[in-house]
Amino acid sequence: MKEYALSKLAFRNTNPPNDSLSAGPEALRSFFFPRQVLQIQEAARILGLGREALYKRIWRGDHSLKIRKFPGGRQYVLLEDLISYLFSNPKFQQE
């Protein structure tokens, strides 16, 4: 699996990286614990994209990642949706 530089993500309400070397889905879950909802910008940064680039790729159909909306219209991504997208996509698998 590709290693993600979670320590470079500096968003509020995240856990500091610990010394244990967890990788993959468990690293993402522990980094965002107890949160289950990510802002679009957080998801884009994990994917290595800008927010606008993520929107464009989803609009064009390049990404199957599901973006949801709160009743007020604010958009978000579920952590489990992001994990299932990342770790089932061969583009993100290390050979």
Q: Summarize pLDDT for 9-47 with one digit per residue, the tens.
A: 444 556 655 555 567 888 888 888 888 999 999 999 998
Residue 82 reports pLDDT greater than 80:
yes
Which residue, chain included where needed, has tokens 């958009």? 75
Yes or no: say if 23 and 3 are a contact pair by the CB < 8 Å rule: yes
More confident position, 66 or 15: 66
Q: Domains (ranges, CATH) in the chain?
A: 6-92 (1.10.1660)
How many Cβ atoms from other residues are within 10 Å of residue 59's Cβ? 9
What is the pTM assigned to this prediction? 0.69
Residue 73 binned pLDDT confidence (cut-offs 50, 70, 90): confident
